[in-house]
Structure 1
Amino acid sequence: MAVDLRDPPESYLAFWREYHVCTLTTPRPDGSPHVVAVGATYAPEDGELGVARVIANRHSRKVANVLAAGPDGARAAVCQVAGRHWATLEGVARIRTEPEEVANAVERYAARYGRTPSPNPDRVVVEITLTRAMGRT
């Protein structure tokens, strides 16, 4: 079911604040999907339609996939499921390396998942500028 990113229902926002393991799907250079378990955060207040963030190691396959797409970014999706409830966010992923962006993403992750990740000098952010949302919450 489509969700209006300009006015998502409170149940949808609440579901994205709960502790859930997510999946991130990025395209490999050959076009096939790469799906991996991640922690993700959703910030509807960032930008017109919102932003989803995933912290990652700069040497990971997911980061390589996004970088291989070039400066325009890669189509990507994050999804979470809990019983009959599910939510998917789609958009264009880019890699952010600025220390303040990484720190912001780590803070958001800590708020959602109740723990601060260990320091990692190779940490970057997969930032997804959202274009579509779906779900049943």
Structure 2
Amino acid sequence: MPEGHRDTQSWPLSAEIEEFLAEPGQAILVTHRPNGTPHVVPVSFTWDSEARLARVLTGAQSKKARNLIAAPGSRVALCQRDNVSSWVTLEGTGTVYEDPERLADGARRYAERYGKDWLNPPGAAVIEIAVDLVMARNV
């Protein structure tokens, strides 16, 4: 394994990884289209260490949401990096929810992390990623 790189399935995560994931950065989300090719997009997200859930607020008709709806139980990856050489990837199963309680929880967490309200458009959804693998470098 390259120097500075580590995979972990141990919990809790290190304080350094938790601090890195608390920074209000963006990440790259990878889902798979029905034909198997990757769909890669930048997203804002929140991390809930206690529940081991990453959340991405989106529209239910977005391509990323439709990819997951078309293939229940799909694995996704979410990678946040800094401007130098550190990164953390959260990997797990992605599920799309449209219920108001989950959306409200996601919007509250978004506001806490990013310091602004999420727009909550009509047809809003939250992608919840049940994280079971974390990869990190220089964190």
TM-score in terms of structure 2 length:
0.91
- Whichever residue aligns with residue 78 of structure 1, its letter is L
Work out whether residues 21 and 80 of structure 1, in 8 Å CA contact, stay in contact via their aligned partners in 2. yes
Deviations 1:82-102, CA, capped at 9 Å, x for gaps: 011100000000111110100
Match of 2:54 in 1: 52
> Which stretches of structure 1, 4 residues or longer, exceed 4 Å deviation after superposition?
none
CA drift at 1:4: 3.8
Work out whether residues 5 and 44 of structure 1, in 8 Å CA contact, stay in contact via their aligned partners in 2. no
Cα distance in 2 for residues equivalent to 1:77 and 1:114? 25
Match of 1:80 in 2: 80
Closer, same or farther: CA 134–10 of 1 in aligned 2, 3 Å: same
Cα distance in 1 for residues equivalent to 2:32 and 2:99? 24
Query: Alignment partner of 1:14: what SS?
Result: helix
- Whichever residue aligns with residue 130 of structure 2, its letter is T
Identical-residue share of aligned pairs (%): 36
Query: Alignment partner of 1:7: what SS?
Result: coil
Pairwise CA RMSD: 1.0
- Whichever residue aligns with residue 84 of structure 1, its letter is S
Count matched residues: 132
Structure 2 residues without counterparts, runs of 5 or longer: 1-5
Structure 1 residues without counterparts, runs of 5 or longer: none
Work out whether residues 96 and 125 of structure 1, in 8 Å CA contact, stay in contact via their aligned partners in 2. yes
Q: Would you say 1:100 and 2:101 are equivalent positions? A: yes
Q: Would you say 1:131 and 2:136 are equivalent positions? A: no
Query: Alignment partner of 1:66: what SS?
Result: helix
Identify the match of residue 26 of structure 1 among 31, 35, 45: 31
CA drift at 1:5: 4.3
Closer, same or farther: CA 135–124 of 1 in aligned 2, 3 Å: same
Match of 1:62 in 2: 64
